[in-house]
Chains A and B, each alone.
Chain A
Amino acid sequence: MRKPLEGVRVVDLTHVVAGPVASFTLGDLGAEVIKVEPPYRAAPAVATPPVAGAPDRPHNRVPLFNELNRSKLGIALDLSSGPGRDLLLRLVAVSDVVMENFSSRVLGNLRLEYEDLRAARPDIILVSMPAFGRSGPYRDRTAHGPGIDAMSGLSHLTGYGDGRPGKPGNFFCDYNAGLLAALATMAAVRHRRRTGEGQHVECAMLEGELQILGDALMDVTMNGRVRQPLGNRHPWMAPHGVYPCAGEDRWVALACRSDAEFAALCDVIERPELAHDPRYAALPARYRNQDALDALIGAWTRHRDEYEAMDALQRAGVAAGAVLDVGQLHADPQHVARRFFVPVAHPETGPAPLPRVAFRFARMSAEPERPAPCFAQHTDYVLRELLGMADAEVRELEQSGAVARDPRGSQEEGREVARK
């Protein structure tokens, strides 16, 4: 099936999480993404053990790396060497987009700023993904995704309401920034098609995340009110929360948006009289009496498993969902029916189920098809086919150390390279 970004070539210098999310999204959508790795394979943000396989090349079998780098080709270059840098610029000259999420000084140290790239290709699109932006007092601050959740206000607003801030999921900020960068990249591609102009796009992770906090920020400017965490409660729905189910750490979430839905809930939990009880019948009273109501609902849910409770409530038109743990997701009937996890074969691990973007087109495809590259897997494609190099030139690049076929040295030596 056709993919929407066929014909767009992306040079991907990103690492960790947010950048690779941006570039794999473009790859899933059909762009040819060439991941340029350093001559060692850097650990992904969360070091996970390799999956079982041949004793050598464990770096090709790290599940999180392979999830974040599917839909890409791979080559390993030492950008701090003259020949490595020259080679990158030759690749830029035949590409549409360069993406990077280095800390603030790295591009300058490598002499690979936007102007350097433009000299190689005047209409190149450079997409940078700094934490706070390349200008302003915080431009040199360093932070990871959860640290940006702290600064955006999301940590303050997430919590049980006991005065402690919370952490949303694992890498929320990175995924949000990655998708915004994918969107901005496509916008820049369209701008160039219309005007012939390239550009330097900057996707600061903090600025992308502020968008999801608009209502809390408006409450400050409109009313001087600092919102506090509500736990699982809602500003105007009740009941609203998670309720214990049979088994250990099993829960069902539910929400009543109206008195009618509440009445339906009362029937399901076999307490129809509650729908007429003045403590619960109308929303304002129900909102005040949530603790007591939660106990009544919990008395019903705790004897059922989470799917059974969800199905009974949904049959009555009540918004409810099993609180699934990550081990249950692959077998969830909705995910199975919609193929949310797409099995993609990898030459050294076998097939892995990769989560896809949250949409499917009626005609085109946005599914991941290509596994993550093994280390330096596409060196010959890039050097010979794309750049038309002859054997002698390729050999010379390998001997100079600018191009690596196998990861060189240890992670620690890699850190030294990155620090320079």
Chain B
Amino acid sequence: MPDGSALQGVRVVELVEGLAGAYCGKLLAGLGADVLKVEPPSGDSLRRAGPFPEDHPNPEASGLFLHLNPAKRSVTLAIETETGRRLLGRLLDTADVLVHDLAPGRARAIGLDDASLRNERPSLVAAAVTFFGSTGPYADFAGTEIVAQALSGYMSLTGDPDREPLKPYGYLAEYQAGLHAAVAVMAAVLARDATDEGDLADVSVTEAACFALGGPPQLAWWFDRTLKRNGTRLIGVGGRHPYPSTLRPCADGWVHAHSNNRNPELLAALVGDQWLASPEVLDAMTDRADEIDAVVDRWLADKTKWQAVAAAQEMRLPFTEVLTPAELLEDREGHLRSRGELVEVEHPVAGTVTQLGPPVHLGAGAWVSDRAPLLGEHTADVLCGTLGLTHDDLLRLRQAGVV
């Protein structure tokens, strides 16, 4: 553990099955917390999610699991058994933070809801991450990523105007919820440092996506104007607003084409067409987006994305390449590698794993990104070392299927 990490000495018990809570734990582990991932003896469900090396399913080598769990310790406990719950309680006695994603009813049933925690563990900081939050008419609804993105309004802002709403790739809402949970935990830990009082944060995945909408609900409220998806163009601008801000095809793929908003006339110089710098265009750029796209497309047609972006950036036009994941990792100019963003770690089962480096670069106290744990790798360390169980106790727990 690097000396001086922000959360050094803070123990987090992570009791989660979903992605959001696991990402929260990843961020806390990166900041130096001792994150104990409590898994059922059959393993966290994300261990069964791909990708797997050469597509061979293996609970120790799930790419998603390895991505979400660097630098955590794994302890197995069957919390549906009474013994398992007792041991979880003893683990919580040694912990500063609990992150869980139990449904509200389940949290109540095993004494991890707000009322129980408040009475029994007043100095524990806890975050409960659920799809809709633990209160309100949807609290007991069944949730998945696409459902959260739908109810948040996020899908209504993604996709083509004349087609169905589109879910952005992957687990955007759940990742955002994990980030909100980490913000809540960090804030509550800071407060607890001063008061020794804990708190419980009730985190909603749907609200996390809603938070990221970026203004359109505000405009709907003030101007009674419901903004909707707009292809790859910015939403909510019109008339004189500088253009382009969109994705356009080029010789070998796509680029993100964007105006220099302070100097929109620079686009004319880039593509060599003075029509773009004429007052009739500059005064109505967004209104004339289709015509501008056509001019830009002609310039892009014989250029690779690398050529187009290099020429634009040279003139301070914020164009970027649309990269595939493989092109990103290829890292042509070595930018990500120079910043320590692609880290190779050795994993006993998965072999050499390329992990992402820090999401933020701290100036003091390193980001911790060791490999993810094997299932139950630290059960003995924690139960015997921390809780003081004997190896015979452990053997009995194993035989009973508790660990």
Stretch at the interface among A143-151, A281-289, A395-403: A143-151
Pairwise interchain contact B151-A187, C-beta atoms closer than 8 A: no
Q: How far is the CB of A48 from chain B (nearest CB, A)?
A: 6
Is A338 touching B50 in the complex (CB atoms < 8 A)?
A: no
Q: Chain B 168-192, CB within 8 Å of chain A: the 1/0 string?
A: 1111100111011111101111110
Given A217-B328, A415-B262: A190 touches B179 (CB 8 Å cut-off): no
CB-CB nearest in chain B for A133? B339
A347 contacts partner chain B, Cβ-Cβ < 8 Å: no
Query: In this complex, what residue of B is CB-closest to A153?
Result: B325
Q: Mark A309-335, 1 if CB is under 8 A from B, else 0.
A: 000001001111111111111101111
Known: A157-B169, A194-B4, A360-B201. A169 touches B186 (CB 8 A): no
CA–CA, A327 to B223, complex, Å? 10
Q: State the interface size on chain B (CB cutoff 8 A).
A: 156
Contact check, B151 vs A334: say whether CB atoms are below 8 A apart.
yes
Closest CB-CB distance, A303 to chain B, in whole Å? 17
Assess whether A220 is in contact with B326, with CB atoms less than 8 Å apart: yes
Closest A residue to B181 by CB, please name it: A359
A71-79, A158-166, A375-383 - the one binding chain B: A158-166
Asked whether A355 and B213 contact (CB < 8 A) given A207-B339, A334-B132, the answer is: yes
Do B142 and A166 touch across chains, with their CB atoms under 8 A apart? Answer: no
Cβ 8 A contact of B150, one of A229, A235, A253, A257: A253
Report B332 CB to chain A, min CB distance, Å.
9
Which of chain A's residues has its CB closest to B184's CB?
A359
List the A side residues contacting B182 at CB < 8 Å.
Answer: 183
Bound-state CA distance A213–B341 (Å) is 13
Query: Are A334's CB and B138's CB within 8 A?
Result: yes
Q: How many A-B residue pairs have CB under 8 A?
A: 514
Q: Flag whether A404 is at the interface (Cβ < 8 A).
A: no
Tell yes or no: A38 within 8 A of B by CB: no
Are B146 and A158 within 8 A (Cβ)? no
| In-complex Cβ contact of A166 among B52, B158, B186 (8 A) | B158
CB distance from A191 to the nearest CB of B (A): 5
Contact B245 A146 (CB under 8 A): yes
User: How far, in whole Å, are A237 and B147 apart by their CA atoms in the complex?
Assistant: 13
Q: Select one of A49, A157, A191, A253 contacting B149, CB under 8 A.
A: A253
Can you list 21 pairs linking A and B with CB atoms under 8 Å apart? A5-B191, A136-B334, A158-B169, A170-B157, A170-B236, A176-B179, A183-B186, A203-B359, A204-B361, A208-B360, A211-B356, A216-B325, A217-B325, A219-B51, A223-B54, A323-B150, A325-B156, A334-B133, A337-B136, A352-B221, A359-B207
- Given A143-B256, A212-B171, 6 additional A-B pairs, CB 8 A: A174-B214, A175-B176, A197-B364, A215-B50, A215-B170, A358-B210
Q: Which 9 A-B pairs have the closest CB atoms?
A: A218-B63, A214-B67, A199-B363, A168-B168, A253-B150, A327-B226, A157-B169, A187-B6, A337-B136
